[in-house]
Chains A and B, each alone.
Chain A
Amino acid sequence: MNVLVWSALIVLMVPLQAVLLPYVKIAGVVPDIALVAACLAGVLGGELHGLLAGLTLGWVMSLFSAIDPLVAMGVKGAVGYAAGFAGRHVVYFSWPMLMLGIFFFSCSAGLATASSLTLNGQQDLWWTLRTVVLPQGVLDALVGGALYWVAWSRFNVERWMAEYRA
């Protein structure tokens, strides 16, 4: 994908995450669309696309959050790269499998973020898991699965990925 399309997608993702998604908050948690996008970019485009998408999205999203930009960039970049690596080594892709993968990556990213934050006495590991990491993992998996299912039913994703792996 060319740089312009990527830039437009990234710029549009910020209002989606900051303005529209808070309306669909479930248990006080919204899906992290940037993380899902980094995962999908990695799976469909490879490690480099995943890494670049993760780094860029992490940085841009951190401008509109109190989170440390380095933490956001590092975590999302790593997720994008790992998703790309995983995508290249999986023989057959289905949307339930992708959902499971996104759930795993989202939970790993959540735990990595939690360990890098200076959590105060009220926010221990159990609180983090219960209130943010697991609910966000489920929501991210649902959103990622839905996006992949739409792409799978509308476009020839399998052929696309086969060409990438060749």
Chain B
Amino acid sequence: MRMVNFRAPYNTGRLVILLAVVLLVGFLLLPAQLQGLFQRAGSPVGWVVSWPLRAVAGVSDGIADLWAGYVALRTVEAENRELRKELEYLKGQNSQLREAAAATDRLAALLDFKQQIGVATIAAQVIGRDTGNWYRTIILNKGEADGLRPDMGVVTPAGVVGRIVKTTRATSVVLLVTDPNNAIAGLVQRTRDEGIVEGTSNGSARLKYIPMLSDARPGDRVVTSGLVGGFPKGVAIGTITAIHKEDGGLFLSAELVPEVDGEHVEEVLVIQSPAVPSEGERLGTPKVKSKS
């Protein structure tokens, strides 16, 4: 058997060590600039990697569908052997039709929502999850080439999904609303009390900084306030399940159940321009009283 020599030549070794030292010094002296440099350099690499990523996502979906169909057909076979072939065919077709109907429903709802929301949006598909265990993110199949940028809001007809934190040429990374590092301006729909929604370590969310005298209670819906961030006003975030008051604290906080399960979302809309109306635009032009 031919053996492979894995040792790098001496000069290469020195070069790599030198490169590592330069990188280390660079990290220490110019962390922000180097981060930007790597991010920009990563954009074309991300585009290249996005192709196998999409291909594997497609194959994975196909295998999942095939597996589900197979299990269903096994059940049918056990129930009635004589009608096996017919049932196999019908069950398979039914499964395909159900999947098609579900996809049509989802896309129709997405289209309706896109028209209702009244802001420029881009539809995108979820093709993957975070490559590490430290953040709750999803990967979208659209990136800078499609006009997506960091800080853009991501929603579904049900409500807020999260915010884009990173883009490459062909993909985007969305930090979910349930991640503890995310913060979105929200307000309690009934009482109009504003606060900041952040994720929790157990996968839900909470609304912080609610005024102490607020009348908010479990069951109240929390929506985006539209004050800051990439979301228009009034997009659902979650429903309050409990209100907490810390001893000596100046504010209340509320536990939320997010409207969207970010772990299972398949299609999303990215908000390009929240187009938040100014107070003047919202109230309309004041009418001049006519002198009579």
Contacts and interface: CB of A to CB of B under 8 A. Distances in A.
A4 interface: no
A136 B139 contact: no
Contacts of B179: 66
Nearest to B46: A63
A49 B12 CA distance: 11
B8 A51 contact: no
B168 interface: yes
B55 interface: yes
Name the prevailing secondary structure of the A interface residues. helix
B27 interface: yes
B3 interface: yes
A70 B24 CA distance: 9
B133 A30 contact: yes
Interface string B160-202: 0000011010010101000111000000000000000010110
A126 to B, nearest CB: 11
B131 A113 contact: no
A117 B129 CA distance: 19
Nearest to B52: A15
Interface residues of B, number: 54
Contacts of A30: 133
B244 interface: no
Contact of A15 (B4, B27, B57, B200): B57
Contacts of B46: 63-64
Given A1-B6, A67-B134, A163-B5, A122 B53 contact: no
A151 interface: no
A94 interface: no
A65 B173 contact: yes
B212 interface: no
A69 B52 contact: no
A45 B180 CA distance: 39
Given A66-B137, A127-B201, A77 B20 contact: yes
Contacts of A23: 60
B31 interface: yes
Contacts of B24: 74
Contact of A64 (B6, B12, B134, B139): B139
A122 B52 contact: no
A54 B95 CA distance: 44
Contacts of B129: 18-19, 22
B7 interface: yes
A131 to B, nearest CB: 7
Contacts of B39: 69
B20 A55 contact: yes
A66 B181 contact: yes
B13 A11 contact: no
B133 A32 contact: yes
A65 B56 CA distance: 18
Contacts of B115: none
Nearest to B9: A48
B34 A18 contact: no
Most chain B beta-carbon neighbours within 10 Å: one of A62, A64, A164: A64
7 contacts: A30-B133, A34-B131, A62-B131, A65-B166, A70-B31, A74-B24, A81-B20
Q: Which 10 A-B pairs have the closest CB atoms?
A: A18-B128, A15-B56, A66-B135, A45-B6, A22-B129, A61-B131, A122-B201, A63-B42, A65-B131, A15-B53
Interface of A: 1, 11-12, 14-20, 22-23, 28-30, 32, 34, 44-46, 48-49, 51-52, 55, 59-70, 72-74, 77, 81, 113-114, 117-118, 120, 122-123, 127, 131-132, 136, 156, 159-160, 163-164
Given A70-B35, A114-B134, A164-B7, 19 more contacts: A14-B53, A14-B131, A15-B52, A15-B128, A19-B56, A19-B60, A32-B133, A46-B8, A48-B13, A48-B17, A59-B42, A63-B168, A66-B130, A69-B42, A70-B31, A113-B134, A117-B134, A120-B198, A156-B1
